[in-house]
Amino acid sequence: MGATITNLTAHTGAEVTGIDLAAPVDPEIRMRLNQTFVDRGVLVIRGQTLSPRQMLDAVRLFGDVFPQHNTRFALPDCPEIHFISNQDKFPDGRRYIPGEGWHTDHSNDVRPPKATILHAVTLPSTGGDTQFANMTAAYDALPDMMRERLRGLSAIHVYQSSHSARQLMALPDAAKERVPNAVLHPIVRFHPESGRRSIYINPIRIEGILGLDHKDALPLLDELLAHSTAPRFQYRHKWLPGDFVMWDDRCLLHKANGDYDMNEMRYLYRVMLKGSVPI
Ligand SMILES: [Fe+2]
């Protein structure tokens, strides 16, 4: 029995059935999965039941584990794996919905992760979809004048942008020491595996554009975001129990939707994989 791989939209997403990541994976299938991930941006492997340790073994088929910034969310028995839960609260008691608003993960790192992987443990009965925007397709659709304008521009990424509507959970003091204050990344980056260009923006993390006044930079970032997140560039993932979903943070934005009954539990394991310096 081999893996069956089916495209989910014209440009983004592939569904994989017929494999069990808790068992050893054939090297040829491993190569196919890695290539499909690069080609399709989102890999949806259905029907998995993985303990945190088994998930850690499974993600190593695709790369090395990236140390996530906020250790507050680490699983005590397996700290390389973090959790995402809708039952989490800010210190003042407000509910914290991780991942709301378009973003790419941990772009405030010198070497941001190449991928994020979630494994669904408990899901609400409806809602809680994750949306993805294909930033390669969005770049390809830009008018020449805009591509010219973006050439050579770099954005300043910080842990929490002062322009972001979304508030992140504060970092513990120990984590602050290893998370940079600010890093510069190109607004258009090359994908190290596909060789294609993508728009690389992040409304939650970008504080500004180097060399531009906010009055020019902020409308430009808004325009790029509106362009990139148009429905024609999206794949919307509807979660099924057992889903193992891996996406490419180098060329996609994503967002969570807190549109379900918060009395229902939503809980997923999260791992990231190491990436390279964006160029
Ligand atoms: Fe995220």
How many angstroms separate the alpha carbon of residue 240 from the centre of ligand 1? 19
- Would you write out the chain's pLDDT as a tens digit for each of its 279 residues? 589 999 999 999 999 999 999 999 999 999 999 999 999 999 999 999 999 999 999 999 999 999 887 888 899 899 999 999 988 888 888 888 778 899 999 999 999 999 999 999 999 999 999 999 999 999 999 999 999 999 999 999 999 888 887 777 778 777 777 777 899 999 999 999 999 999 999 999 999 999 999 999 999 999 999 999 999 999 999 999 999 999 999 999 999 999 999 999 999 999 999 999 999
How many angstroms separate the alpha carbon of residue 27 from the centre of ligand 1? 29
How many angstroms separate the alpha carbon of residue 166 from the centre of ligand 1? 12
Q: What is the pLDDT of residue 1?
A: 58
Q: What is the pLDDT of residue 176?
A: 75
Q: What is the pLDDT of residue 62?
A: 98
How many angstroms separate the alpha carbon of residue 76 from the centre of ligand 1? 21
Q: Of 56, 19, 11, nearest to 272 (Cα)?
A: 56
Helix segments in the chain, DSSP class H: 27-40, 52-59, 135-140, 144-150, 173-176, 214-228
Task: Provide the 3-class DSSP secondary structure of residue 82.
Answer: strand
- Which protein residues have their CB within 5 A of the ion that is ligand 1? 99, 105
How many angstroms separate the alpha carbon of residue 99 from the centre of ligand 1? 5
How many angstroms separate the alpha carbon of residue 137 from the centre of ligand 1? 20
Q: Of 195, 186, 196, 184, nearest to 134 (Cα)?
A: 196
- Asked if residues 161 and 245 have their Cβ atoms less than 8 Å apart, the reply is no
Sign of the torsion angle spanned by Cα atoms 169, 175, 176, 182: negative
CA distance readout (Å), 134 to 9, 32, 94 = 11, 21, 32
The distance from CA 82 to its chain's CA centroid, rounded to whole angstroms, is 14
Q: What is the pLDDT of residue 172?
A: 79
Q: What is the pLDDT of residue 144?
A: 98
How many angstroms separate the alpha carbon of residue 252 from the centre of ligand 1? 11
How many angstroms separate the alpha carbon of residue 84 from the centre of ligand 1? 10
C-alpha dihedral over 74, 80, 81, 84, to 10 degrees? 40
Q: What is the pLDDT of residue 228?
A: 98
How many angstroms separate the alpha carbon of residue 254 from the centre of ligand 1? 6
How many angstroms separate the alpha carbon of residue 103 from the centre of ligand 1? 6
User: What's the CA gap between 161 and 155, in Å, rounded?
Assistant: 12
User: What's the CA gap between 225 and 217, in Å, rounded?
Assistant: 12
User: What's the CA gap between 183 and 248, in Å, rounded?
Assistant: 20
CA distance readout (Å), 259 to 90, 99, 129, 230, 252 = 19, 13, 9, 20, 22
User: What's the CA gap between 59 and 115, in Å, rounded?
Assistant: 10
How many angstroms separate the alpha carbon of residue 145 from the centre of ligand 1? 31
How many angstroms separate the alpha carbon of residue 161 from the centre of ligand 1? 15
Q: What is the pTM of this model?
A: 0.94
How many angstroms separate the alpha carbon of residue 2 from the centre of ligand 1? 31
β-strand 74-75 against 78-85: which pairing, if any? antiparallel
CA distance readout (Å), 277 to 17, 109, 184, 234, 249 = 33, 9, 10, 26, 13
